[in-house]
Amino acid sequence: MITSISQLDPNGSYTYADYLLWKFEERIELFRGKIHKMAAPSRYHQGITSNLHRVLSAALWKTPCRIYPAPFDVRLTRTKNDKQVKTVVQPDLCVICDPTKLDDRGCSGAPELVIEILSPGNSKAEMKDKFELYQEAGVLEYWIVSPTERMVQVFKLNDEGIYIGLAPKVEDDMLSTPIIPNLEIDLMDIFDFPALSPTLHHLPNPIAPRCFHQ
């Protein structure tokens, strides 16, 4: 039994079947069989996640779509053979509109929408890997949220299965998506919220990049 992440080979290749047997506290993801350790998110990161979750949940009420925050396992394949699943991710938020993709363990297949919130713990290599994984799996929209820039970059999958980046949305813009027709997000409400110290609202960037830990 694996009870410590130190027992794993950082250069090894693992499957979802292996992943299910691990009994340690650290959160990890599998990218094509490779281990990627996840750090604990900062308070501001979680505040943004909470705001997005609240707005999206309200828009999805009484629709077939459901939203799930991390930790929530997403296996980016529809195979039922756990030994063949080599990619398991935990997006900050994901929206799933096909109920056949859901089971007691999470999601099997590509969500319609994936949202990842950046922080210094997200390496450039990791973000590049996730971009490629979501594109390859067929995630229709991928949002990358930058807390320090107070900006959202939206990528839409075209008919050729390639992500096309839209013009960035900044804090005084509105954000919408055809995946959720009745959704309109005021980004100012996403990046500013009472949980932050009032003095932080007067700063261009509420929390400096060095304060993030994921």
Report d(CA 53, CA 59) in Å as an integer.
10
Per-residue pLDDT reduced to its tens digit, 58-98:
999 989 999 999 999 999 999 999 999 999 999 999 999 99
The domain ranges of the chain are 41-211
| H or E stretch covering 165 | strand 163-165
Instruction: Give the mean model confidence (pLDDT) for residues 198-204.
Output: 39
- The pairing of strands 88-89 and 106-108 is unpaired
Report d(CA 200, CA 169) in Å as an integer.
21
Please report the pLDDT score of residue 174 as a whole number. 96
Give the right CATH number for 41-211 from 3.40.980.10, 3.90.1570.10, 3.30.540.10, 3.90.320.10: 3.90.1570.10
Residue 62: C-alpha distances to residues 66, 89, 102, 191 (Å): 10, 27, 17, 27
pTM of the model: 0.87
Asked if the model's pLDDT at residue 211 lies above 80, the reply is no
For residue 194, what pLDDT band results from cuts at 50, 70 and 90?
A: low
